[in-house]
Amino acid sequence: MATGKNFLVGIFDDEDVLIDSIAKLRNTGIKIFEVYTPFPVHGLDTALGYKPSNLPIAAFLFGLTGTILALTMQIGMLGFDWPMDIGGKPYIPLPSFIPVSFELTILLAALGMVFTFFIISDLKPYKIPYMFDKRSTDDKFVMAIDLDSNKESSEVITKLLQETGAIEINTQKVD
Amino acid sequence: MQVTSPVRPPLVTGGKNYHDVTNDVCKPVESVPSKSWVVALGIALITLGFGVYCVGRLLWDGIGMWGLNKTIGWAWDITNFVWWVGIGHAGTLISAILLLFRQKWRTSINRAAEAMTIFAVICAAQFPILHMGRPWVGFWPLPLPNTFGSLWVNFNSPLLWDVFAISTYFTVSLVFWYIGLIPDFATVRDRATTKVRKIIYGVLSFGWDGAAKTWSRYEAVSLVLAGVSTPLVLSVHTIVSMDFATSVIPGWHTTIFPPYFVAGAIFSGFAMVLTLMLITRVVFRLEDYITINHIESMNKVIVLTGSIVGIAYLTEFFIAWYSGVEYEGYAFLNRATGEYWWAYWSMMTCNVISPQLFWFRGVRRSIVLTFILSIVVNIGMWFERFVIIVTSLHRDYLPSSWAYFKPTLYDVGVYVFSFGLFFTLFFLFTKYFPVINMAEVKSVLKSSSENNTRTNKH
């Protein structure tokens, strides 16, 4: 969390009004620090100019690791370390290795992606987040604007927020 | 927002707004437990207590306490295992496959269905572990270095595939469920009036703040988890069916098993979700979220999967005759007319005939009939597994080894134990966790609620 900064906080009660407001503010050149919503609002990430997450690529790579790990394990154990003659069948029966390889692919893809998500989003059990407004996990949409990184004065932005439908506006110093 | 067809009935009734959703779902979490909940939990705990006694005796004296004999080495234990695993399929199916198909009605039921999945898999896992007889060496199926003997585990064995499939399924379902819970725990945390609740839900919510960037990643994670869970959920019961299908026992040795088991799993899972949701919606006053339309949608899935199961039964019978294999033919004829005819016809009545009533709209939309039929379906699905397992085993190749299985108190007791465990976990869940995914319901509220604020405001 950005510390020691002054924020202008606009509160909205409708996600469509919020998205229109974001578009207007961004067109004026105002940088928005972050928007906090109670649920995933469709089109919010594009309105804020966020790029799609690369997490699916991480999931693919973790999954690939799982497949390679599982095949190496099975072929290594039954093919090389201790080959077993089971009814004269091959020591490395690949069709028999499909289920375990598949399961480990999924397991590593899912766990790897979720832990990556926790790390990059800084989600952890002992974290106490700074909430600009606690209603943002209930029914309000909260927009935080970092005043220090914007050229426009607080008054100009406040006026813009009012015009675009914010129901409440306040300033907060985070320390 | 997405465009939703105006002819669709609303998913959430009662003209709710975002704050109403939060209030309605958080109320059970925040209020003093109701008397009915305390009584229900008490009954579950007493059941669990009796079950723990039976499991204790079983572990102390060994699995000779069960009614198994040298011909029938698998009976209630594996029946219960497959039954619980099957029930555990609905949750991930609802949250993963219905998410990929963009079925928005899932949002009201996915949380509870996923919880049910996780608890059902926990119950299922008890049976193979107990059947080992020595659960303290239950780690032997893991591919550990061979200091325990000279061999590695056999990766050709479907029983070993099961170990991987069930544990992966459990882990991925748990993670999927928890990811969905994090934003709702944050809601409870931010509404908390007591210090204890603030700390507990603060820890559980992982410091979630609802930032747009995090939501964007959250949606990417959900979509990929749904994508990987879909083949996973289908693979799990496929692999369970291979425990039987890859053997050479007549009645088990059939290639139809994987799809037939998966359909049966969805069938019983949806029935169990209905049984639980019909009670939960009344007890916690969630009728506006779990509406009659949700119930009807689930009943449609039941009639579809029930019919697939019915066709599978008939196909099995036909192939047993058509293949010309004498053993197969006998195994199936013996199922329907032999000593276990009562189990076979219970299965046929409960699974094939009774769900056909759901073709009638009046039955699909009747809460009482749905509740009764959902229980009938689960009785039928228990009998299906019992029929497959016990009738195939009890006529061995040598008539001198033919046998009959009678359950003992400890067969019943361990089954009762799994019920006690399941309901204790489920009741604790309904009290302490938000039973409906608030964030997801809010995200579909505007496009499909009765008071469409979008048209009013713009």
Query: How are the residues of chain B apportioned to helix, strand and coil, as percentages rounded to the nearest 5?
Result: 75, 0, 25
DSSP result, A30-53? PPP-EEE-SS--TTHHHHTTPPPP
State the smallest CA–CA distance between residue B456 and chain A in angstroms: 12
Domain boundaries, chain A: 5-52+132-174, 55-120
pLDDT, greater one: B449 or A137: A137
Residues of chain B in contact with residue A103, where contact means CB-CB under 8 angstroms, are 161, 164-165, 168, 232, 235
Instruction: Return the percentage of chain B with pLDDT > 70, whole number.
Output: 94
Residue linked to tokens 């007319």:
B337
Of B152, B219, B235, the CB nearest to A40: B219
pLDDT of B448 > 70? The answer is no
Query: How are the residues of chain A apportioned to helix, strand and coil, as percentages rounded to the nearest 5?
Result: 50, 15, 35
Residue of B nearest to A75 (CA): B155
Exposure on the CB side of residue B402, measured as CA atoms within 13 A: 10
CB atoms B1 and A131 under 8 Å = no
Calculate mean pLDDT across residues B166-170: 93
Q: How many beta-carbon pairs below 8 A join chains A and B?
A: 206
* pLDDT score at B377: 92
Calculate mean pLDDT across residues B304-312: 92
Calculate mean pLDDT across residues B161-180: 92
pLDDT of A2 > 70? The answer is no
pLDDT of B262 > 60? The answer is yes
Q: Please report, as a single letter, which amino acid is at residue B181.
A: L
When divided into structural domains, chain B yields a total of 1
pLDDT of B2 > 60? The answer is no
CB atoms A99 and B206 under 8 Å = no
Rounded to the nearest integer, the mean pLDDT of chain B is 87
pLDDT of B9 > 70? The answer is no
CB atoms B221 and A114 under 8 Å = yes
pLDDT, greater one: B279 or B11: B279
**Residue B85 in contact with residue B240, Cβ under 8 Å?**
yes
State the smallest CA–CA distance between residue B257 and chain A in angstroms: 16
Confidence band for B454, pLDDT divided at 50, 70 and 90: very low
CATH number, position B253: 1.20.1630.10
**Residue A75 in contact with residue A53, Cβ under 8 Å?**
no
Is residue B114 a part of any domain in this protein? yes
* pLDDT score at A116: 93
Q: Which of B174, B209, B230 to mutate to test the interface with A (most CBs of A within 10 A)?
A: B209
Residues of chain A in contact with residue B171, where contact means CB-CB under 8 angstroms, are 107, 110-111
State the pTM of this model: 0.90
Domain with B383 in it: 18-141+152-446
Of A15, A82, A128, the CB nearest to B202: A128
Of A40, A42, A86, the CB nearest to B156: A86
B35 — contact with chain A (CB < 8 Å)? no
Calculate mean pLDDT across residues B88-96: 83
* pLDDT score at B146: 64
* pLDDT score at B412: 92
Is residue B6 a part of any domain in this protein? no
A49 — contact with chain B (CB < 8 Å)? no
* pLDDT score at B455: 42
* pLDDT score at B438: 86
Exposure on the CB side of residue B140, measured as CA atoms within 13 A: 14
B434 — contact with chain A (CB < 8 Å)? no
CB atoms A129 and B208 under 8 Å = yes
Could you say which residues from 133 to 162 on chain B have a Cβ atom under 8 Å away from some Cβ of chain A? Answer: 143, 146, 150-156, 158, 160-161
Residues B346-355 have pLDDT tens digits of: 999 999 999 9
Residues of chain B in contact with residue A128, where contact means CB-CB under 8 angstroms, are 202, 207
State the smallest CA–CA distance between residue A132 and chain B in angstroms: 9
The arrangement of secondary structure in A5-52+132-174, i.e. its CATH architecture, is: 2-Layer Sandwich (3.30)
Confidence band for B458, pLDDT divided at 50, 70 and 90: very low
Q: Compute the distance between CA of residue B282 and CA of residue B288 in angstroms, rounded to an integer.
A: 10
**Residue B452 in contact with residue B446, Cβ under 8 Å?**
yes
